[in-house]
Structure formats: C-alpha cells, structure tokens
Amino acid sequence: MREKFTYALGLGGLLLMIYNLHTIFTVLPDEAQQGAIGRMLFIHVPAAIAAYLFYTIAVVSSIAFLIRRNFAWDSLAVACVEVGTVFTFVNLVTGSLWGHVIWGIWWAWDARMTTQLMCFLLYLGYLLLRPAVSEPTQRGVMSAILAIFAFADIPIVIMAIRIKDIRTQHPSPVLETGGLDPTWWPPFLIGIVALALIGSALMLVRLHQETSQREMDSLRRELHAI
C-alpha cells in the first residue's frame, strides 16, 4: 500500500515534470535578455524552494523528536535533510551552469548563491555527523539539535550577505519584483509542485529505508543479547 502510494507520487511528479519541460522547451519563446539558458530558471529556483520546504519539515520533525522521542520523527528528519541537500546541490549546479553561459564564469560569489552554498555546507555537516554516532538515541538527539542550529542560521546568513552587499550580479529576484513574464508563471509554479512531488517520493523511499534499518539493528542487538 505504502509502496503504491510512493510510486504514484513519484510517477505523478515525473509526469508533471515531463509535461512542464515540454511546455518550457517547445511552447515558450526564448527569454529576451538571456536566450535559451533562461529556461534554467524553471529548475534552478524551484529546486531552492523545494529545498527550503524540506528543510522546514526537517526542523519541525527534529523538534518533534526531541519532545516525543519517537524514532519515526528522526527518520523523517534525516530523509528530509537528504532530499533538501540534493535539491540544494541541483540549485548550485544549475546556478553555476547558468552563470557560465551568461557571464563566462563558473562561480560568482553573489548573495543568493553564497547563501545556498552555505546551506549546502550546513546540512552536509548534518549528513556527516549521523554515521559517526552508532547509538540511535544519541544520534537522533544530536541530529535534531544540529538541524535546529542549522535552520536558525539561514535567516541570519541571508541578513549578513544582504548587508555585506556582495557584488549582486544575480538576476533580480523575480518573486519579489514580480517581473516575470505572465506566460512563465504557470510552468514555474508547476515546476515547484513537480519537484515537491518527486522530492516527497524520494523522501518516502528514504524514510522506509531508515525504518527497515532500525528494525534490523534492533534485531541484531536482541540476537547478541541472547
């Protein structure tokens, strides 16, 4: 039952994505200033939004684990952090490609990309910490606290980089200025939904894997105790 649901979610997301890509590549004209590469927007920005969505679920889940000590919350947290990190990585890579085409450089230290890089490093640390702790309760508590620390840093980093006013070559944020062509909004929003669905499917797969791993570990311990 659960597997069917996961497959349905993933398939739905994939189909939506394919439909969206079809629209993006065949229906829409090239963007005036950027040319063909402007279409990168449809993956680049939704990836970042999806990442933040999953990071938010992760921190809520972490707090729930600290209070309830139910390992389902811990598994949910790590699954969400992993998916979020993957999306952040997609965001970084697409951003880099975009930059290479537009400005000729692989990495421009602009405000937004630096924030994204920092997020990536923060949550990479989380993923590095987990295997280093073998005892599940300890691992769960430490990961939860690290997730809270990491999440609290995101707004502060955004503040810091905004103040520092790093060379803002980054195209003006379309969500804030609303300067996006009206015909581009539907694929953009659909892109977010599609990525969220795919991400959720991946997260559920990871969640199932975590639960199975925990069961195996506990059975192994019981066996040793006999």
Nearer to another protein, 117 or 174 (CB): 117
Nearer to another protein, 22 or 164 (CB): 164
Nearer to another protein, 15 or 219 (CB): 219
Minimal distance, residue 179 CB to another protein, in Å: 27
Nearer to another protein, 103 or 149 (CB): 149
Minimal distance, residue 45 CB to another protein, in Å: 22
Minimal distance, residue 146 CB to another protein, in Å: 7
Task: Return the closest-CA partner of residue 44 out of 83, 100, 95, 119.
Answer: 95
Residues that bind another protein (CB under 8 A): 66, 69, 71, 118, 121-122, 124-125, 128-129, 132-133, 135-138, 141-142, 144-146, 148-150, 152-153, 156-157, 159-161, 163-164, 214-215, 217-218, 221-222, 225
**Rounded Cα distance, 76 and 85, in Å:** 14
Nearer to another protein, 30 or 215 (CB): 215
Minimal distance, residue 124 CB to another protein, in Å: 8
Minimal distance, residue 69 CB to another protein, in Å: 7
Nearer to another protein, 152 or 175 (CB): 152
**Rounded Cα distance, 43 and 216, in Å:** 38
Minimal distance, residue 5 CB to another protein, in Å: 25
